[in-house]
Copies of this chain bind each other. A is one copy, B any other.
Amino acid sequence: MTETEAGGRAGVLFPPERVETARRATEDAAFDALLVTPGADLRYLTGYQALPLERLTCLVVPARAEPFLVVPELERPAAQASPAGRLGIEIVGFAETEDAYELVARRLPPGTRRFAVDNHMWAEKLLAFQDALPGAQPGLAGDVLSVLRMRKSAAEVAALRRAGAAIDRVHDAMGEWLRPGRTEREVARDIADAIVAAGHDHADFVIVGSGPNSASPHHEVSDRVIEPGDPVVVDIGGTTAEGYCSDSTRTYAVGEPPAAFLELYRVLLRAQTAQTEAVRPGVTAEELDAVGRDIITAAGHGEHFIHRTGHGIGLETHEEPYIVAGSKRPLEPGMAFSVEPGIYLPGTFGARIEDIAVCTETGGERLNLTGRDLVVLPG
Interface residues of A (CB under 8 A from B): 2-4, 51, 53-54, 72-75, 77-78, 81, 95-97, 117-124, 126-127, 138-140, 142, 185, 205, 215-223, 306-308, 311, 318, 322, 324-326, 346
- Contact check, A123 vs B97: say whether CB atoms are below 8 A apart: no
Look across to chain B and name the residue whose beta carbon is closest to the beta carbon of A121. B123
Question: Which residue from B2, B3, B123, B139 sits with its C-beta under 8 Å from A120?
Answer: B123
- Contact check, B96 vs A324: say whether CB atoms are below 8 A apart: yes
Look across to chain B and name the residue whose beta carbon is closest to the beta carbon of A39. B122
Look across to chain B and name the residue whose beta carbon is closest to the beta carbon of A140. B124
Q: How many copies does the complex hold?
A: 2
30 CB < 8 A contacts A-B: A2-B220, A2-B222, A4-B223, A51-B205, A53-B318, A54-B311, A54-B322, A72-B307, A74-B307, A75-B218, A77-B216, A77-B219, A78-B218, A78-B219, A78-B220, A95-B306, A96-B324, A97-B325, A97-B326, A117-B123, A118-B123, A119-B122, A120-B122, A120-B124, A121-B122, A122-B122, A122-B123, A124-B142, A127-B138, A127-B139
Question: Which 10 residue pairs spanning A and B have beta carbons closest together?
Answer: A77-B216, A121-B123, A119-B124, A74-B217, A75-B218, A74-B307, A123-B126, A120-B122, A78-B218, A96-B308
Give Cα distance in the complex from A120 to B126, angstroms.
10
Give Cα distance in the complex from A54 to B217, angstroms.
16
Look across to chain B and name the residue whose beta carbon is closest to the beta carbon of A205. B51
* Shortest Cβ distance from residue A193 to the other chain B in the assembled complex, whole angstroms: 10
**Residues A2 and B221 in contact in the complex (CB < 8 Å), given A74-B306, A96-B307:** yes
Residues of B within 8 A of A54 (CB): 311, 318, 322
- Contact check, A2 vs B185: say whether CB atoms are below 8 A apart: yes
**Residues A123 and B140 in contact in the complex (CB < 8 Å), given A78-B220, A219-B78, A221-B2:** yes
